[in-house]
Structure 1
Amino acid sequence: MIDISRHKKLISGLNLKNIKILVAGAGGLGSTVLNNLVRLGFENIIIYDPKMIDPPDLNRQILYNQEDLYQNKAFTALKKLKKINPNCNIKAIDKALSSHFNEKVDIAFDCMDNIEGRLVLEKICKKLQIPMIHGAVQEFSGQVTVIVPGITTSLLDIYEGFDIPKTPQVFPPTVLVTASIQVSEAIKILKDDFKNALINKILFFNLLYNDFEILQLI
């Protein structure tokens, strides 16, 4: 069991063992989100990722190393997370997330790298009436927002008109910062701290210029 005594007061009010989390994508964002979640003390996690670990992934996907190359990301993440906290109840699925997903979860993380998958996750969150923590990266820039069905603007509206690169270049620290902010936002949402969360707001940052900006969406 992981010792959370050094941060327990900072997340007081959360019964971590009763919270179930869906993480869609176990790559750069996903592996950092998962790492943070388990070290915070969350135990019930479902991971979806159909992809294998390739050599270029190792520069930013912090759960993996050379021994993990060409293995499925979801299954490998499960093994690594169990080493951090053996009490974790983690379910790994080596398939793309489907709109048929119907398990009871409390919150979902968008850690994918394509808009099609993100929109599938948004539909699932709308169906289940749960919040989604969106994160995306490109080069030195990252963005984070919280999508709550019936309360916030949709992800489709946010992305309308944007030209999204198929294989964007990514500065590795950008991934770590974005994923960490995603987890921080999830803690706020789970504690019902909507006042301080990115509700109908989106955070943009650029590490090259040290620019951080929050824009109102509606």
Structure 2
Amino acid sequence: MPGIQLFITCLVDSFYPKTGEAIVSILHRLGVDVEFVPDQTCCGQPNFNAGLRAEARLVAEHTIRVFEKTTGDIVTPSGSCAHMLKHGYSELFADDPAWLTRAQALASRVFEFTEYIVDKLGVTDLGAQWNGTLTYHPSCHTLRGMNIDRQPRALLANVRGATILELPNAEECCGFGGIFSMEHPELSAEWLKRKIGNLESTNSPTLVVTEAGCLMHIAGGLHRQKKRQRVVHIAEVLGNR
């Protein structure tokens, strides 16, 4: 039985535990042993994006040390965290050969959740069922940073009972972008307004995402506007039977 390390991410750990539970359940059904290292923390992306490189390096060093003690692939339900682990760390340690080697070793083990299922396990049908219409929002880091798009779409296409509708202008950012939404709140709000408008145009009651940050941002906007649509992480759709 193959084994993986689950890098749960801050947002899933703190706000969306059902997403984490769905991931573990799905991987167990696929015969994958899931391990969780309790010493894991943030990947350091907030500091990295804020330009606080020294602080980001400290977090990155901790993460590398923690996972060097483990074996197996590292799977995370976040394209942005996967991108940080695979690419951000190499940038942080570009001037430090010893740490760069360790960062690259870590990067070689990292997979975003849907990427791992489709590309590593070769599975596109999880036997999931969903009665209703779904539409999919590809997060920026997952789509552009990790070049992951066909994998979540392939998995959703095999969800029994679901009708998948294309989201207009799907590739546009939802406006979250981590600290971007705090540094540029007016621009963030405008992008969120456009994303919600595009969602409404599909008449789909459910928007599927692969990123907890997008989930929180869009769901928050829907709640404030008293809209009926809901946002779910793809793991919860794929885990529904």
TM-score under structure 2 normalisation?
0.32
- Of structures 1 and 2, the larger Rg is shown by 2
Structure number with higher helix proportion? 2
Structure number with higher strand proportion? 1
